[in-house]
Amino acid sequence: MKTFPLWTAMVTPMNTDGSIDFDSFETLLKKQELAGNGVLVLGSTGEGLNLNEEEKREVVTFTKGLDLNVPMMVGVGGFDLPAQADFIHFCNEIEPDALLLVTPLYAKPGAEGQFEWFSELMGETEIPCMLYNVPSRTGVKMHPSVPARLSEEFDHLMGVKEASGSVEEFKEFRRQAPKVEFYSGDDGLTPAFSKEGGVGLVSVASNVWPEATHKYTERCLQGKTDDLFPLWKNATDVLFKAPNPVPAKVLLNRKGWIENDTVRLPLSLGDISESVEQELLKADQKIANWLAKQ
């Protein structure tokens, strides 16, 4: 598929009993469609590992059924290879536009284990696949040689979501795999990654600021970010003052975009303070003021 510069890692709205709130979910998806952002469901921001298999399939089927005029990506994460292969087979039938394959959790595999893991998963589908390097969640860094090797074996490798938090590591990925497209997995580092050849962003912030994040990404890719800082960095930093997606869900609820700010354990609303909530509201107003001037 063609390069799509901005994907929103969607939250999964929930009712007070923890069930999925599909009415609020549709509202959020339509806002992304209106802003022109691709949607990623069942990522870490979507609490994908906190949903059971039936729920995950419902989320995918529901999103596909909306027939959005923006592309849809589905997160595939965990450490049970047969279960992930089975879920990929389900996705093959639903036909999303892309899959996000995460470095395996907990086991801390080396370069060869990572290569074989991704090879097994990519061998189960012809859907374009984006790899996801997020060592803060998986416990292991993706080896820089892995994307390059996979690109030689699979034509449907569409890119890498790079969330190591390091510009130097991003540059090393680019050096070893110059033909692979790399996306920032960190809202705040998108300007730096863009300067080093990044082609886009997979964003948390676009959940709460769809249109503003779209403009921000465009400007980063054009190298025109002077008027965005320090506003943007300060605003996005607040979104991570409690475990993601707790702050995003709280702000979405306060904005009236979702009915409840419910999260599932081990996430807890008790991890966000009243002072952080006030910071979120102030950041939201500042972003709105900036957007109004564009």
Domain for residue 95, yes or no? yes
pLDDT at position 20 over 80:
yes
For the chain, percent of residues with pLDDT exceeding 90: 84
On the question of pLDDT at 214 being above 90, the answer is yes
Question: Is 162 domain-assigned?
Answer: yes
CATH code of residue 43: 3.20.20.70
Residue 46 falls within a domain, yes or no?
yes
Per-residue pLDDT, 264: 96
Does a structural domain hold residue 1?
no
Residues noted as catalytic: 132, 161
- Residue with token string 């989320």: 59
**With 90 as the cut, is the pLDDT of residue 139 above it?**
no
What mean pLDDT comes out for the span 262-274? 96
The C-alpha atoms of residue 15 and residue 210 are separated, in whole angstroms, by 23
pTM of the model: 0.95
Q: Which residue has the tokens 């034509």?
A: 155
Query: What phi, psi does 236 have (nearest 5°)?
Result: -70, -30
Range of the domain at 198: 6-222
pLDDT, residue 79, reads 86
Backbone torsions φ then ψ of 266, nearest 5 degrees = -85, 5
* 243 within domain boundaries: no
Question: Average pLDDT in the 136-165 region?
Answer: 92
pLDDT at 294 over 90: no
The number of domains in the chain is: 1
236 domain residue, yes or no: no
What pLDDT does residue 210 have?
A: 98
pLDDT for position 215: 94
Domain annotation covers residue 109: yes
The gap between the terminal CA atoms of the chain, to the nearest Å, is: 30
Question: Residue 290 domain-assigned?
Answer: no
